[in-house]
A and B are shown apart, each in its own frame.
Chain A
Amino acid sequence: MKVAVVDYGAGNLPSVERALRGLGADIERITQPGQVAQARAIVLPGVGHFGAFVRGLRDRKLAEPLRVARDSGVPIFGICLGLQAMFASSEEAPEALGLGFFPEMVTALPTHVKSPHIGWNQVRRIRDSRLLRGVPEDAYFYFAHSFAAPACAAATVAACDHGISFAAVIEHENLFGAQFHPEKSGETGSLVLRNFVESLS
């Protein structure tokens, strides 16, 4: 199965690509709108700043083709900031527009807990999840973020608590997202990526 990994110019892509390749996926790193249009499955990894990320997508003219891909049923998997970018906006860069696949706003983690939320945490299942199939209930995932989408978002299938409840895994039709880094979450994370890759065939 061929998986397109979106390169927006600042992320640590090799680890995501290595993890997917290890599961037998063919990886194509894409930077052009035309490549997005041809992709059969898309992974949208992201680290850093929401504003820089969505600007990077826009500057490369990738936002519109991603929206078209969403509409035509192409599976899209957003990781960390990639998940956040699927929402309408973020407190991190109020002036920047997200991809708007989901209507909610990404907000800062509260100040009474340590932020960034860095480390391994567990998630709480809210609905049946395709990404978490076969993953033990008490499994840990590696998180590294200061902002998060609300747990009450309609697409949330698993939530995590760190000061507030936030969306740890989202799924809606052909859209998938993980606030944690599956490529950094050991065997558990590898199983999440495997579930995504296997859902493509």
Chain B
Amino acid sequence: MTLARRIIPCLDVDNGRVVKGVEFEGLRDMGDPAELGARYNREGADELIVLDISASFQGRATFLETIRRVAEQLNIPLTAGGGIRTMVEGRAVLLAGADKVTVNTAAVRRPELISELSQQFGAQAVVLSLDVKRKNGSWEAYIRGGREATGRDAADWAAEAVQRGAGEILLTSIDRDGTRSGFDCEVTAKIAATVPVPVIASGGASTFDDFLSVFTLGGADAALAASIFHLETHSIAALKKFLASHGVPVRQTGLDKTPVHSATENR
């Protein structure tokens, strides 16, 4: 009996559509969030993360509706966030159907936001989104979608956030994000060893071996990827089969093997 390592597809949502950032090009439309969510739910994703990257007020206003539409499609957990500034906004995200809310910029500026959300909804509902960049052999935390350095050491900030009540860390390597050069196992291992809560590794996923490394070398509890799943470069089932064959405990959707009707026939 072991806690399975999780595979988590991520939907970046702009103005109600899933998008992918393409360097120097802007955003490319990847589809409808509810449709993609339903597909990942069916294909054996362990959880789904939906992040609002809308810059416009209008886009932000549609995000709660997106959460509602996605949540309706799922029987797995849903994490949502992106630009959450206040307790009221965090609460709205959870009431719209998310099980967990991510916070980043606002939490750096006012760390009490983490404590407040955690006290009301429980640590298991509060995820610190931690964007990091390598700097002189260490890592610095960034805010505002990776545009602004905080001057804070990533591990120090992670430890404070957990102490304030964050129940999970979504760790994104800005250096690796979008590069397809593999997860940053070093920073993942560093943060995973620092905090007593699960760490979701993000940024750089490309091959099956990248996932294997981030679980074995990085000590990640979960691994997130976006475009390789959206573009159907890899299927979640094939990835999990590969990980299982290398000794990583994963949840392979058991009832796919045992249809529900035959499982209930012998009642």
Q: List residues of chain A with CB under 8 Å of any chain B CB.
A: 10, 12, 14-15, 18-19, 47-49, 52, 81, 111, 114-124, 133-136, 138-140, 142, 144-146, 160-162, 181, 183-191, 194
Give chain A residues whose Cβ lies under 8 Å from the Cβ of B197. 114-116, 118
Q: With a CB–CB cut-off of 8 A, which chain A residues contact B123?
A: 116, 146
Offer 14 A-B interface pairs, CB within 8 angstroms, sorted by A. A12-B94, A12-B95, A15-B97, A47-B99, A47-B122, A48-B120, A81-B122, A119-B198, A121-B3, A140-B4, A146-B167, A162-B3, A187-B75, A187-B256
Residues of chain B in range 233-267 having any CB-CB distance to chain A below 8 Å: 251, 253-258, 260, 263-264, 266-267
Q: Is the CB of B255 within 8 A of A187?
A: yes
Task: Give Cα distance in the complex from A142 to B47, angstroms.
Answer: 10
Q: Quick check: B121 and A120 within 8 Å, CB to CB?
A: no
CB distance from A16 to the nearest CB of B (A): 11
Check B145 for interface membership: any CB of A closer than 8 A: no
**Contact status A120-B4, CB under 8 Å:** yes
CA gap between A117 and B199 in the complex, in Å: 12
Q: When the two chains form the complex, which single residue of A49, A111, A185, A191 contacts B119, counting CB atoms closer than 8 Å? A: A49
Given contacts A19-B75, A139-B255, contact A146 B1 (CB under 8 A): no
**Leading 10 A-B pairs by shortest Cβ distance:** A134-B263, A140-B251, A187-B255, A144-B124, A48-B122, A116-B124, A120-B4, A120-B251, A134-B264, A116-B167
Q: Taking chain B's interface residues, is the majority helix, strand, or loop, or is none over half, making it mixed? A: loop
Which of these, B98, B251, B263, B266, contacts A135 with CB under 8 Å? B263
Contact (Cβ within 8 A) B94 A134: no
B254 touches A140 (CB 8 A): yes
The secondary-structure label for the interface of chain A is mixed
Q: How many A-B residue pairs have CB under 8 A?
A: 135
The one of A15, A49, A119, A160 in contact with B6, judged by C-beta atoms closer than 8 angstroms, is: A119
Instruction: Tell me the minimal C-beta distance from A128 to chain B in angstroms.
Output: 12
Verify A12–B198 contact, CB threshold 8 A. no
B251 lies within 8 A of A12 (CB): no
Q: Which B residues are CB-close (under 8 A) to A161? A: 1
Question: Is B77 a contact of A114 with CB atoms below 8 Å?
Answer: no
Q: Does B136 contact A (CB under 8 A)?
A: no
**In the complex the two chains form, is B75's CB within 8 Å of A14's CB?**
no
Q: How distant is the Cα of A48 from the Cα of B122 in the complex, in angstroms?
A: 4
Interface residues of B in 1-16 (CB under 8 A from A): 1-6
How many residues on the B side are at the interface (Cβ–Cβ under 8 A)? 45
In the complex, which of the residues B5, B6, B264 contacts A133, with contact meaning CB atoms closer than 8 Å? B264
Nearest-CB distance from A99 to chain B (Å)? Answer: 19
Provide the bound-state CA to CA distance between A111 and B196, in Å: 8
A136 near B254 (CB under 8 angstroms)?
yes
Assess whether B75 is in contact with A185, with CB atoms less than 8 Å apart: yes
Interface flags for B58-98 (1: CB within 8 Å of A; 0: not) read 00000000000001101111000000000000000011011
**Roughly how many angstroms separate A97 CA and B60 CA in the complex, as a whole number?**
41
CB of B254, distance to nearest CB on chain A (Å) = 5
B221 within 8 A of A: yes
Complex contacts, A189 vs chain B, CB 8 Å: 75
Among A12, A142, A183, A190, residue most surrounded by chain B Cβ atoms (within 10 Å): A12
A10 in contact with B6 given A134-B266, A139-B255 (CB within 8 Å)? no
Chain A hits for B71, CB < 8 A = 14-15
Contact B254 A120 (CB under 8 A): no
Chain A nearest Cβ from B120, distance in angstroms: 7
| Closest CB in chain A relative to B261 CB, distance in Å | 10
* Chain B contacts for A119, CB-based, 8 A: 3-6, 46, 198, 221-222
A16-B143 Cα distance, complex, nearest whole Å: 35
Q: Which of B75, B168, B251 contacts A183 (CB 8 A)?
A: B75
Output the least CB separation between A94 and chain B (Å). 16
Other-chain contact of B254, A10, A81, A138, A160 (Cβ < 8 Å): A138
A36–B202 Cα distance when bound, in Å, is 45
Known: A135-B263, A139-B254. A115 touches B121 (CB 8 A): no
Chain B residue with the shortest CB-CB distance to A112: B196
* B191 close to chain A: CB less than 8 A: no
